[in-house]
Amino acid sequence: MAVKKALVCGAGGFIGSHMVKRLRAEGYWVRGADLKNPEFCPSEANDFVVADLRLRESWEAILDEGMDEVYQFAADMGGAGYVFSGANDAAIMHNSAMINLQMADFAVLRKVKKIFYSSSACMYPAYNQEDPDNPKCAEETAYPASPDSEYGWEKLFSERLYLAFNRNFGVNVRIARFHNIFGIEGTWQGGKEKAPAALIRKVAEQSDGGEIEVWGDGLQTRSFLYIDECIEAVRRLMESSFPGPVNIGSEEMVTINHMAEMIMKIAGKKLSIKHISGPLGVRGRNSDNKLLRRELGWEPSQSLFDGLSKTYPWIYGQMQAETK
């Protein structure tokens, strides 16, 4: 059988670099493309191209005719501190939309066989996520649209872009809405890190009896999915005939305070929490996996505690290495 060829866009980032590893382990020939090399270990891609995917000439160079699969993870993104400050709104919308417009166009020009697009739970309407105990994030609740960030609006636009290319040009797409993916080899400092990594870093920095800062009252709810299960779900979606959009997330909803307590337990420390003002996003959000279960006959099963238990020592190790 011929070796399958895949292009991973955003292969220098968190999810993209994990996907490269997975595809290589499955025997694919993989090209990775990104503005930068992966931060934490060399890419396992057969070919890695440093390229700006907003530009046509980059796509001309990286996308060969008849590529079997393209995984589109490239986006201008970050955690709440980056997405909700307002200062990055124009860049987030412009940069990510440019990447997706080029991708869609080149999928037709180069006859790509199948594309995966990574959307986000941030596209769900804010009005359905005001009750922290009962957020509504089933796929069919997306409209009337009212995301709480420009990041979410761009994701919604790009979902529609790929679906329009599917209808008008037959581009074979798979779309997932990720809900807070975390794990080893993810950003843990610098302003683009997400809540699990930020809290792990804060806990790891303190000695027993110390104090950590949490944005808001910490009663906002979220669910978090460990990276391995995200990759598994994406591969299953790609192998299925279901285009999506479908949620890829965990249904284990926790408050941010509860997650902080879990991390303290893993670290073996008792710390107090100081609540400070900061960018927050919606009050509650949880994955709704009914559609995922129905279409893929599968759902993630790992607990948040287990995922945090793997991530804590990795971030701790990074911090130790930095102080040497």
Closer to ligand NAD at the Cβ: 36 or 167? 36
Residue 225 C-beta: closest distance to ligand NAD, Å:
8
How far is Cα 104 from Cα 111, in angstroms, rounded to an integer? Answer: 11
Residue 38 C-beta: closest distance to ligand NAD, Å:
8
Active-site residue, 28 included: no
Closer to ligand NAD at the Cβ: 136 or 275? 136
Q: Enumerate binding residues for ligand NAD (CB under 6 A).
A: 10, 12-16, 34-36, 52-54, 73-77, 95, 99, 118, 120, 178, 180-181, 194
Catalytic residue among 28, 71, 117, 151: 151
Closer to ligand NAD at the Cβ: 194 or 202? 194
Residue 29 C-beta: closest distance to ligand NAD, Å:
20
Amino acid type, 111: K
Amino acid type, 97: A
Residue 295 C-beta: closest distance to ligand NAD, Å:
19
Closer to ligand NAD at the Cβ: 76 or 132? 76
How far is Cα 227 from Cα 15, in angstroms, rounded to an integer? Answer: 7
Helix (H, G, I), strand (E, B) or coil at 249: coil
The widest CA-to-CA distance across the chain, in whole angstroms, is 61
How far is Cα 116 from Cα 23, in angstroms, rounded to an integer? Answer: 13
Q: How far is CA 259 from CA 277, 303, 324, in A?
A: 18, 12, 29
How far is Cα 274 from Cα 232, in angstroms, rounded to an integer? Answer: 37
Shortest Cβ contact with ligand NAD: which residue?
13
How far is Cα 44 from Cα 105, in angstroms, rounded to an integer? Answer: 27
Could you list the active site residues? 151
